[in-house]
Amino acid sequence: MRASVILLDKSGQFMILIKRIKPDKTYLVFPGGGIEAGEIPRQAALRELSEELAIQVPAEAIKAEKQQEDGWIFLIQSQESVGPLAIHGEEAERSTPENRYLPKWFSLEEIAELTIFPEIDREWLARQLN
């Protein structure tokens, strides 16, 4: 199972997505990854955010969560400004010119037009954002 994070900026108007560039395809993903043995999904989500983007947020920052077919999605709003985005951890080690991870802030308006993995219930997300 996977734990993914929708991380909103302090204003609640932007979220981070990671652009994955591979030789055969390019796509967008939410930060996240596998839930390790002994972890609960929210621990995995916070760990993955820390490992992939070096962003630490307290568990209280989780505004909403939803179990999906392929795992869990957690909505988190940062209470602090997030500095420049960069990939860290295993993803940084695996990154090559042919296999890249590019984190970027996207406005909520842009998100409506994008295909993102894992797919999320956009109606659920809209309810959480209002």
Domain containing 63: what range?
2-129
Q: What is the pLDDT of residues 68-121, one digit of tens each?
A: 998 999 999 988 778 789 999 999 999 999 999 999 999 999 998 899 988 888
- The enclosing domain of 105 has a CATH number of 3.90.79.10
Tell me the C-alpha distance between 31 and 108, whole Å: 16
Query: What value, to the nearest 5°, has the Cα angle with vertex 120 and ends 117 and 122?
Result: 130
Domain count, the chain: 1
Q: What is the pLDDT of residues 19-72, one digit of tens each?
A: 999 999 999 999 999 999 999 999 999 999 999 999 999 999 999 999 999 899
Peptide bond into 97 cis (omega under 30): no
